[in-house]
Amino acid sequence: MERKHLAGAIVATAAAVLSLLAIAALGLGSASAQSDEMLIKVVAPVESIKKGSDDVVVRFEAENATNLAAFQFQLTYDPDVLQVALDPQSQKPLIQRGDFLGTTGREVACPDPESQPGVLRMTCVTLRMEPPGPDGAGTLATVTFTAVNSGSTELTLDRVKANNPDATEITPIQVQSGALAVKGGGGLNWLLWGPIIGVIAAVVVAGGAFAAFRLRGAGSGSAPAAA
């Protein structure tokens, strides 16, 4: 009886080990499959940005791309924390395409991005069937923000699509959003407070001079003591 129980325990243990190995193999296969999927992600500065900064660059990156010919995305963010910066010459939003889509020599066309407070949309396509689109990883686009207030904001990426040269949609696509923190500017704003401090100092000096004049006048007007 004891031998039968021992044999049964060994068989059960072996079955459990085989089950765990099978589950681990499935997990590794799933992770491998996921790692082969195309990824479009937001890459934002990791450290907090100082309030007032007007050169906050956020990138949109592709990974595991295969024969990529077109893409589109929408980004939403908190307009109380960030605003899209404007080009000083054209006064257009500083949203620019990256170089990845054209690295194989394909002709790239990007209509003007749509930008309104809290949301921006961008689409880029390439023309003709040849040459093939790029593979691998690279920058799809960049946007430059101004940090208008302290706080934090999600950089939510959605409505993401990508196509091959024959207009076949690439699926599935993994999407990775981001986040950004803005800290207070710190220090004293001398443009605002300098004139105010100057006026206060002038008032204090004038008040001190007036008080000294009154005291001097009071001292000189007193009568001499009788002999």
Q: Which of 15, 12, 41 is nearest to 177 (CA)?
A: 41
Quote the strand ranges of 31-135, DSSP E. 38-43, 49-50, 56-65, 70-76, 82-84, 95-97, 108-109, 114-116, 119-126
The answer, yes or no, to whether residue 16 has pLDDT greater than 50, is no
Place of tokens 């949203």: 95
What pLDDT score does 213 carry? Answer: 55
What is the per-residue pLDDT for 124?
97
Q: What was the pLDDT predicted at 184?
A: 87
Please answer whether residues 144 and 84 qualify as being in contact, where contact means their C-beta atoms are separated by less than 8 angstroms.
Answer: yes
The whole-number pLDDT of residue 36 equals: 87
- Under the banding of pLDDT at 50, 70 and 90, the label for residue 84 is very high
Q: What share of the chain is helix, strand, coil (3-state, %, to 5)?
A: 30, 35, 35
pLDDT tens column, 148-181: 999 999 999 999 999 999 999 999 999 999 999 9
Cis check: omega of the bond before 117, within 30 degrees of 0: no
Question: What does pTM read for this prediction?
Answer: 0.67
User: Within 10 A of 96 (CB to CB), how many other CB atoms are there?
Assistant: 16
Q: How big is the CA angle at 76 (ends 75 and 80), to the nearest 5 degrees?
A: 135
Structure tokens at 1: 């009886």
Q: What is the DSSP letter of 79?
A: T
**Does a cis peptide bond (omega within 30 degrees of 0) precede residue 131?**
yes
- Domain spans of the chain? 1-36, 38-183
Say yes or no: domain 38-183 is CATH 2.60.40.680.
yes
